[in-house]
């Protein structure tokens, strides 16, 4: 007899996600992922000037502002075959790499670490043992006994005051928590340090994007950053060298704290390499364009079917029809009127709510497919595709991380272990280390290009009469993002966003195949159905972001939504 | 004294964006003052820590549902503010509640926190405020000026309304 668990909402994510599981004999036997908010952004954009769309799309979500702005300008540029000046490419590349680095660090420490790290256990740690453990795997200057003792005192103050604040929702003392007090203390210290470090990525975005959280410097055709070394209001060498300092500080944290921490958590929880694989068709798009026509990229994209990297098929440019023709969306199990599979350019958004039907419609998220099959997107897909493509930095960081995990775990852990819940965390850390190299390279390319006397940052778009279509691709922190625009006589006729969490939190598709979250939960052991920590571990490993961002304060009704089993 | 005046909300959901609209209105109506930073926080969360650090006073503007008639203004101060954001189980889990908790954890919570609220009418998809809310944006902007004046900061109304075009 199966026990039904409903987690509604899943916490520590952006947006409103409901997950239902049936548990039989201590393991998940069936699962449903349901997006509980409806966005009608597509409807807002119809009839508008395509040059303005990015200003609206960056308001979709509080976390992914930059991401939706970039995908939007790219979609219009793609429709116009508009070239983007080199300086603009490099500035955009640095912006999106900084955003991704910030997002990955925040995801590991602030959104998911508490699934694995027991903060209350850290109070029992011996700071000396923690420090010597840390010094074995990293040279980070804040792993000292003094620093760790100070963190422990601070945590004690919080626990004693009864106000755990942000730590309130943890499953403290859960039987699935396995780290020693010393490792818990180390991770808690890095949790606090990461809060400070992530600000540095934000400062880069603020300098280049003119403002955060909503950047102001984008334009269809380039960026609005004048480059002029004589005017302090423009992008000067002084500002660019400040950016360099910030990048170096981020790199230090990534290589000496984030990556070693993920390796340690992976080694201590190596049983989690056996759970959470789910859909192993992986999709990724090319990122960090290096020329004005977007034909050459720092990182290739591609597709891997059935987890077999020998079948890797690269996606090399924004013109690649393998991607453009391969994407479609089904609403068979989603709360929309349309039933069949549709290409995003033909997509419609007519809501049709039916309540939660296990075998019918149960989500506001549509079910995207790639060449008819569900696909997983995100850092794991990106890393596996780059590994398959022979990308040297990816191979270097992946092999190094797997070697560290193997040493700490005392047994060999290979590339195949990445197809798992904990593997998604490892892949995200590997990707962050790669992005640290990318952002440094983009900075150097920008400096070199300005040095040649090229200060161009913008090409004016000219809109033809009649209908044109474009797709804006972006390998975002959570994976493949695509904005699909149809422009008719200079106005937007149709606009569809196929976001990374649409791929991963997809409900069943037109062939009733489950989406990645759903498939990944099958077989997961559940120690206590009342406290389904294991479900959260797997769902959080995808870095869910069901953007919608209603956040109205409600003094009248204390609970806006019902919470079961959490 | 360093003050951050931050409007929060989603501009794509009609009245939900009122907090951000008030910041725009305030910028049109009043001269900027030294030590006072105005910010459109949108629906961001933890990224805003960067702006909060080093501030003595935080004035938040957001829609607040108290069950009063549409457009009613409200004011909360001190411990009521984090408590209010914490009570609700918001779909926006990375929101202001976490921001304030994180600020506390890093010893950067401003000493004084004020929330100025407005009762929303409609939060469906759309860019325009409802008439009831739009009619009260000016009064809410005036409340910010009053808060700043009470802090001993001079607030000068702009002589003529500047023609500031905002795309949104």
Domain-embedded: residue B43? yes
pLDDT value of residue A501: 87
CB-side neighbour CA atoms (13 Å) of A448: 8
Neighbours of A155 (CB within 10 A): 24
B120 interaction partners in chain A (CB closer than 8 Å):
552
Q: How far is B153 from chain A, CA to nearest CA, in Å?
A: 25
Q: Is B123's CB within 8 Å of A552's CB?
A: yes
CB-side neighbour CA atoms (13 Å) of B6: 26
- What range does the domain containing B94 cover? 3-150
CB-side neighbour CA atoms (13 Å) of A444: 7
Tell me if residue A97 falls in helix, strand or coil.
helix
pLDDT value of residue B160: 53
Q: How far is A111 from chain B, CA to nearest CA, in Å?
A: 9
pLDDT value of residue A172: 79
Q: Quick check: A454 and A447 in contact, CB under 8 A? A: no
Give this prediction's pTM: 0.91
Q: Which A positions 35-94 lie with beta carbon below 8 A of chain B? A: 36-37, 39-41, 43-44, 52, 55-56, 59-63, 65
pLDDT value of residue A524: 95
Crossing angle, helix B96-105 and helix A181-209, to 10 degrees?
120
Q: Quick check: B84 and A555 in contact, CB under 8 A? A: yes
Is-catalytic flag, A385? no
Domain-embedded: residue B96? yes
Dihedral of CA A232/A234/A235/A236: which sign?
negative
Which chain A residue is nearest to residue B74, measuring alpha carbons?
A555
- Residue carrying structure tokens 């060449």: A371
Q: Is B47's CB within 8 Å of A203's CB?
A: no
Alpha-carbon distance values, B168 to A483, B10, B37 (Å) = 20, 12, 21
The C-alpha atoms of residue A205 and residue A237 are separated, in whole angstroms, by 16
Mutation target among B23, B41, B76, B88 for the A interface, most CBs of A within 10 A: B88
- Tokens, residue A196: 């400070």
DSSP label of A113: G
The whole-number average pLDDT for the span B39-53 is 86
Q: Determine which one of A21, A263, A497, A545 is catalytic.
A: A545
Dihedral of CA A101/A116/A16/A327: which sign?
positive
Mutation target among B61, B94, B100 for the A interface, most CBs of A within 10 A: B94
Tell me if residue A240 falls in helix, strand or coil.
helix
Q: Is A553's CB within 8 Å of B16's CB?
A: no
Which chain B residue is nearest to residue A159, measuring alpha carbons?
B105
Q: How far is B2 from chain A, CA to nearest CA, in Å?
A: 19
> CA B67, B70, B72 angle in degrees (round to 5)?
80
Is-catalytic flag, A497? no
A561 interaction partners in chain B (CB closer than 8 Å):
89, 91
How many distinct structural domains can be found in chain B? 1
Neighbours of B159 (CB within 10 A): 7
Q: Is A555's CB within 8 Å of B45's CB?
A: no
CATH number of the domain residue B20 falls in:
3.40.50.1450
- pLDDT reading at B167 higher than 60: no
Chain B contact present for A353, CB below 8 A: no
The C-alpha atoms of residue B24 and residue A300 are separated, in whole angstroms, by 42
The C-alpha atoms of residue B61 and residue B45 are separated, in whole angstroms, by 14
pLDDT value of residue A556: 46
**pLDDT tens across A159-193, in order?**
777 666 566 666 778 888 999 999 999 999 999 99
pLDDT value of residue A431: 98
Q: Is A62's CB within 8 Å of B84's CB?
A: no
B125 interaction partners in chain A (CB closer than 8 Å):
39-41, 43-44
The C-alpha atoms of residue B87 and residue B74 are separated, in whole angstroms, by 17
Q: How far is B148 from chain A, CA to nearest CA, in Å?
A: 23
pLDDT value of residue A390: 97
CB-side neighbour CA atoms (13 Å) of A412: 3
Show the low-confidence residues of chain A (pLDDT under 50).
548-566
Q: Which one, of B103, B107, B122, lies nearest residue B52 by Cα?
A: B103
The C-alpha atoms of residue A228 and residue A221 are separated, in whole angstroms, by 19
Is-catalytic flag, A263? no
Neighbours of A355 (CB within 10 A): 8
Q: Quick check: A454 and A215 in contact, CB under 8 A? A: no
Q: What are the structural domain ranges in chain A?
A: 3-546
- The two beta strands, A367-370 and A467-476, are unpaired
Q: Is A560's CB within 8 Å of B8's CB?
A: no
- Tokens, residue A460: 């004016």
CB nearest to A62's CB, from B89, B94, B124: B94
Is-catalytic flag, A64? yes
- The two beta strands, B73-77 and B57-65, are unpaired
Q: Which one, of B42, B17, B9, lies nearest residue B126 by Cα?
A: B17
- Which is more confident, B127 or A515? A515
Is-catalytic flag, A478? yes
Run of H or E residues at B103: helix B96-105
CB nearest to B88's CB, from A163, A212, A554: A554
- Tokens, residue A488: 């008719």
What value does the CA radius of gyration of chain A take, rounded to a whole number of Å? 23
The C-alpha atoms of residue A142 and residue A126 are separated, in whole angstroms, by 16
Q: Is A554's CB within 8 Å of B65's CB?
A: yes
- Tokens, residue B59: 């004035």
- pLDDT reading at B2 higher than 80: yes
Cβ-defined contacts of A416-420 (< 8 Å, 24+): A417/A270, A417/A273, A418/A380, A418/A383, A418/A384, A419/A277, A419/A280, A419/A307, A419/A380, A420/A272, A420/A273, A420/A274, A420/A275, A420/A276, A420/A277
Q: How far is B115 from chain A, CA to nearest CA, in Å?
A: 11
Is-catalytic flag, A545? yes
DSSP label of A3: E
Please state the three-class secondary structure of A435-477 as a single string: HHHHHHHHHHHHHHHHHCCCCCCECCCCCCCCEEEEEEEEEEC
**pLDDT tens across A336-357, in order?**
887 789 999 988 777 888 889 9
Q: Is A553's CB within 8 Å of B11's CB?
A: no
Homologous superfamily (CATH) for A3-546: Cytochrome-c3 Hydrogenase, chain B (1.10.645.10)
Average pLDDT, rounded, for chain B: 85
DSSP label of A227: B
B99 interaction partners in chain A (CB closer than 8 Å):
none
Q: Which A positions 107-136 lie with beta carbon below 8 A of chain B? A: 110-111
Which chain B residue is nearest to residue A103, measuring alpha carbons?
B47
Q: Is B46's CB within 8 Å of A198's CB?
A: yes
Q: Is A551's CB within 8 Å of B10's CB?
A: yes
Measure CA B58 to chain center. Answer: 9
Domain-embedded: residue B100? yes
Measure CA B113 to chain center. Answer: 11
Q: Quick check: A375 and A517 in contact, CB under 8 A? A: no
Domain-embedded: residue B106? yes
**pLDDT tens across B106-126, in order?**
889 999 999 999 999 988 888
Is-catalytic flag, A300? no
Buried b or exposed e, range A453-474, using 16+ CB within 10 angstroms: eeeebbbebebeeeebbbbbbb
Q: Quick check: A513 and A378 in contact, CB under 8 A? A: no
Q: How far is A316 from chain B, CA to nearest CA, in Å?
A: 33
CB nearest to A13's CB, from B50, B93, B125: B93
Tell me if residue B30 falls in helix, strand or coil.
strand
pLDDT value of residue A562: 28
pLDDT value of residue B168: 42
CB nearest to B125's CB, from A40, A556, A557: A40
Run of H or E residues at A26: none
A545 interaction partners in chain B (CB closer than 8 Å):
none
Q: Which residues face A472 on adjacent strands?
A: A483
Is-catalytic flag, A14? yes
Domain-embedded: residue B157? no
pLDDT value of residue A560: 30
Q: How far is A498 from chain B, CA to nearest CA, in Å?
A: 18
Q: Which one, of A362, A331, A359, lies nearest residue A344 by Cα?
A: A331
Domain-embedded: residue B167? no
Alpha-carbon distance values, A318 to A90, A124, A495, A508 (Å) = 17, 53, 18, 28
The C-alpha atoms of residue A204 and residue A59 are separated, in whole angstroms, by 20
Tell me if residue A11 falls in helix, strand or coil.
coil
A198 interaction partners in chain B (CB closer than 8 Å):
46
Instruction: Residue count of chain B, please give it.
Output: 168
């Amino acid at each position: 007899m199966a026990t039904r668990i409903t987690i509604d909402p899943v916490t520590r994510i952006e947006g409103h996600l409901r997950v239902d599981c049936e548990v039989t004999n201590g393991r998940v036997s069936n699962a449903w992922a349901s997006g509980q908010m409806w966005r009608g952004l597509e409807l807002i954009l119809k009839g508008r000037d395509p040059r303005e769309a990015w200003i609206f799309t960056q308001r979709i979500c509080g976390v992914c502002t930059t991401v939706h702005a970039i995908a939007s300008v790219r979609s219009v540029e793609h429709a116009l075959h508009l070239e983007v000046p080199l300086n603009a490419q490099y500035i955009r590349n640095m912006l999106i790499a900084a955003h991704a680095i910030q997002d990955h660090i925040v995801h590991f420490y602030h959104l998911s670490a508490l699934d694995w790290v027991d903060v209350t256990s850290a109070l029992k740690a011996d700071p000396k043992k923690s420090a010597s453990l840390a010094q074995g795997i990293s040279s980070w200057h804040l792993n000292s006994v003094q620093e760790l003792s100070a963190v422990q005192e601070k945590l004690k103050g919080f626990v004693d005051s009864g106000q755990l604040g942000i730590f309130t929702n943890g499953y403290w003392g859960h039987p699935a928590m396995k780290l020693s007090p010393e490792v818990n203390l180390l991770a808690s210290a890095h949790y606090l340090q990461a809060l400070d470090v992530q600000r540095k990525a934000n400062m880069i975005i603020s300098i280049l994007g003119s403002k955060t959280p909503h950047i102001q410097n984008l334009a269809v055709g380039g960026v609005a950053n004048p480059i002029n070394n004589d005017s302090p209001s423009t992008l000067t060498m002084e500002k660019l060298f400040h950016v360099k300092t910030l990048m170096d500080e981020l790199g230090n944290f990534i290589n000496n704290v984030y990556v070693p921490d993920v390796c340690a958590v992976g080694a201590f929880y190596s049983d989690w390499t056996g759970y959470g694989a789910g859909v192993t068709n992986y999709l990724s798009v090319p990122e960090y364009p290096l020329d004005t026509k977007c034909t050459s990229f720092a990182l290739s994209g591609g597709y891997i079917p059935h987890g077999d990297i020998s079948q890797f098929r690269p996606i090399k440019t924004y013109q690649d029809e393998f991607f453009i023709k391969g994407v479609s969306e089904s609403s068979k199990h989603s709360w929309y009127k349309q039933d069949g599979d549709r290409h995003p350019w033909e997509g419609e958004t007519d809501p049709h709510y039916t309540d939660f039907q296990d075998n019918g419609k149960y989500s506001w998220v549509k079910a995207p497919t790639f060449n008819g099959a569900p696909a997983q997107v995100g850092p794991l897909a990106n890393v596996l595709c780059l590994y398959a493509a022979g990308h040297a930095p990816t191979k270097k960081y992946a092999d190094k991380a797997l070697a560290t995990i193997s040493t700490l775990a005392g047994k060999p852990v290979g590339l195949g272990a990445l197809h798992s819940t904990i593997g998604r965390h490892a892949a995200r850390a590997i990707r962050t280390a790669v992005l640290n190299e990318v952002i440094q390279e983009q900075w150097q390319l920008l400096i070199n290009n300005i040095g040649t006397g090229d200060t161009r940052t913008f090409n004016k778009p000219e809109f033809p009469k009649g209908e044109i279509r474009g797709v804006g691709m972006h390998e975002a922190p959570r994976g493949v993002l695509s904005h699909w625009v149809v422009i008719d006589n200079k106005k937007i006729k149709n606009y569809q966003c196929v976001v990374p969490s649409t791929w991963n939190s997809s409900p069943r598709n037109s062939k009733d195949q489950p989406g990645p979250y759903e498939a990944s939960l099958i077989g997961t052991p559940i120690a206590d159905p009342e406290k389904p920590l294991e479900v959260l571990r797997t769902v959080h490993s995808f870095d869910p972001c069901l953007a919608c961002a209603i956040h109205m304060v409600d003094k009248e009704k204390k609970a806006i939504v019902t919470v079961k089993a959490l | 004294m360093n003050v951050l005046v931050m409007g929060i909300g989603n501009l794509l959901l009609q009245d939900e964006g009122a907090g951000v609209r008030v910041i725009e209105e305030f910028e049109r109506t009043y001269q900027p003052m030294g030590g006072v930073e105005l910010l459109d926080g949108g629906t961001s969360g933890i990224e805003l820590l960067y702006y909060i650090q080093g501030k003595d006073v935080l004035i938040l503007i957001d829609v607040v549902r108290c069950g009063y008639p549409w457009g009613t203004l409200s004011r909360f101060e001190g411990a009521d503010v984090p408590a209010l954001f914490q009570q609700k189980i918001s779909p926006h889990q990375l929101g202001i509640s976490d921001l304030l908790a994180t600020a506390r954890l890093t010893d950067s919570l401003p000493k004084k926190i004020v929330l100025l609220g407005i009762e929303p009418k409609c939060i469906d998809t759309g860019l325009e405020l409802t008439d009831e809310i739009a009619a009260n944006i000016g009064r809410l902007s005036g409340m910010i000026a009053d808060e700043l004046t009470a802090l001993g900061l001079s607030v000068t109304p702009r002589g003529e309304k500047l023609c500031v075009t905002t795309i949104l």
